[in-house]
Amino acid sequence: MKYAGRLAVAAIAGVLSLAACGTDNNTGGTDTASAPAGSAGAAGLSGTINAAGSSAQANAIAEWKKSFQSTNPGVSINYQPSGSGAGVQAFIQGTVAFAGSDSALNDAKGEPAQADGRCKTGKAINLPMVTGPVAVVYNLPGVDSLQLSPKTIGGIFNSTITKWDDAAIKADNPDAKLPSTPIQAFHRSDESGTSDNFTKFLKATAEWPYEPAKAFPAEAKGQGAKGSDGIAQAVKGAEGAISYVELSYAENSSLSKAKVANGSGEFVELTPESAGKTIEAAEIKGTGNDLKLSIDYATKAAGAYPIVLVTYEITCEKGLSAEDSKLVKSFLTYTASDEGQAALTSLGYAPLPASLVAKVRTAVEAIA
């Protein structure tokens, strides 16, 4: 087993301070000093990249697309934020060159073997590209600072806690004035890596009775909304609502975010830095250039916010068409570059720690 190492939070800041260097430029033929690392604008790169998947990373993709296309005007990037499950299936079916997913390919569903079959001459690889902290968001006028333990969150989303003045919520918030407003718990109606990671957190910390999955369990009831945008809009429009959504969407919609207790019982505010402390313990479970990670959702690290996801780009190490291979390699070289990673912080994401991003760059270089 290989480890991502102690991906210290200091390394998150470190990746932002590294100067762009030649090792980030793997496309060759570019002599334009101002071009983003990994771009090939001067080389006349052209064509279309079709991709689909995670809505959690849609804001990151949009920013990367804008910057990459500014130096590669001949390239069109068509990313459909259809959800992680749909993106993985589109990749397996061969209709997209890479899938965005908030979870790595699922062994239990046979996805690695199916994806390897799509790659034909090579294997599919999971490439972590961005840390996406998951916020527990709520709409409860008059309650500005909410604290929730994992057990309480599990009860809310399993429909056993149905009023905001429930004893469990009061115990987490002894000084808060809580109304008797009915709780409206929203979950993703589409298959989602966000749901997968959220239910993994609940399974690990809250005696969640269901198996983690991209599809939120129907037995838990609640109300569904499609996509991260749909969740944000649903919570914003319904008093008493609560849900889970990526930090970038929570901030874009100005939603209130609960502090969540980690494995030591410490209630922690969600920030890119507190989320980064949970990524410190991530283990690399894949082999070779497959960088599938395992996250400790029950971390006891001081100041660590426990609900995080890592968004992957899933593609073929070898086996894409010659055109797709060239375009995907160039684009992912840029997204993993210092410039590409630095662009994430203003969007509500966290860049990859330096020791992990180095492994991602090596894996991207191997795409052929």
- Residue 3 binned pLDDT confidence (cut-offs 50, 70, 90): very low
CA 77 to chain centre: 20
Tell me which of 246, 274, 302 is where a domain ends.
Answer: 274
Q: Is the pLDDT of residue 30 over 70?
A: no
* The pLDDT value given to residue 73: 96
* The pLDDT value given to residue 193: 87
106 and 142 co-located in one domain: no
Closest CA to 139 of 194, 183, 199: 183
119 and 157 co-located in one domain: no
- Residue 272 binned pLDDT confidence (cut-offs 50, 70, 90): confident
Q: Is the pLDDT of residue 189 over 50?
A: yes
CA distance 36 to 268: 36
218 and 340 co-located in one domain: no
CA distance 5 to 355: 8
128 and 140 co-located in one domain: no
* The pLDDT value given to residue 354: 82
Stronger pLDDT, 26 or 218, i.e. the higher one: 218
Q: Which residue has the tokens 């990859």?
A: 352
Which CATH number characterizes residue 144's domain?
A: 3.40.190.10
CA distance 281 to 287: 18
CA distance 139 to 235: 6
- Give pLDDT tens digits for 358-367: 999 999 999 9
CA distance 60 to 68: 12
76 and 15 co-located in one domain: yes
* The pLDDT value given to residue 355: 82
Residues 36-47: what's their mean pLDDT?
A: 61
Q: Looking at the domain assignment, is residue 302 inside a domain?
A: no
CA distance 99 to 79: 9
What is the domain extent for residue 215? 134-274
- Residue 15 binned pLDDT confidence (cut-offs 50, 70, 90): very low
100 and 189 co-located in one domain: no
Given the DSSP bridges, would you call strands 124-138 and 308-316 parallel, antiparallel or unpaired?
A: antiparallel
- Give pLDDT tens digits for 118-176: 998 899 999 999 888 999 999 999 999 999 999 999 999 999 999 999 999 999 999 99
175 and 197 co-located in one domain: yes
* The pLDDT value given to residue 279: 78
CA distance 103 to 200: 11
Q: Looking at the domain assignment, is residue 299 inside a domain?
A: no
Q: Looking at the domain assignment, is residue 281 inside a domain?
A: no
* The pLDDT value given to residue 22: 32
141 and 121 co-located in one domain: no
- Which helix (DSSP H) or strand (DSSP E) does residue 32 occupy? none
**Number of domains observed in the structure of the chain:** 2
Q: Looking at the domain assignment, is residue 301 inside a domain?
A: no
128 and 139 co-located in one domain: no
Q: Looking at the domain assignment, is residue 280 inside a domain?
A: no
DSSP per-residue codes, 173-222: -TT-----PBPEEEEESS--HHHHHHHHHHHHHS---S---SSPPGGG--
Residues 62-84: what's their mean pLDDT?
A: 96
* The pLDDT value given to residue 2: 39
Tell me which of 244, 274, 304 is where a domain ends.
Answer: 274
CA distance 65 to 333: 13
11 and 83 co-located in one domain: yes
Candidate from 21-35, 83-97, 152-166 with smallest mean pLDDT: 21-35
- Residue 43 binned pLDDT confidence (cut-offs 50, 70, 90): low
Residues 265-287: what's their mean pLDDT?
A: 88
Tell me which of 245, 274, 303 is where a domain ends.
Answer: 274
Q: Looking at the domain assignment, is residue 74 inside a domain?
A: yes
Q: Looking at the domain assignment, is residue 193 inside a domain?
A: yes
165 and 107 co-located in one domain: no
Q: Is the pLDDT of residue 39 over 90?
A: no
Closest CA to 101 of 143, 56, 40, 136: 56
Q: Looking at the domain assignment, is residue 304 inside a domain?
A: no
113 and 173 co-located in one domain: no
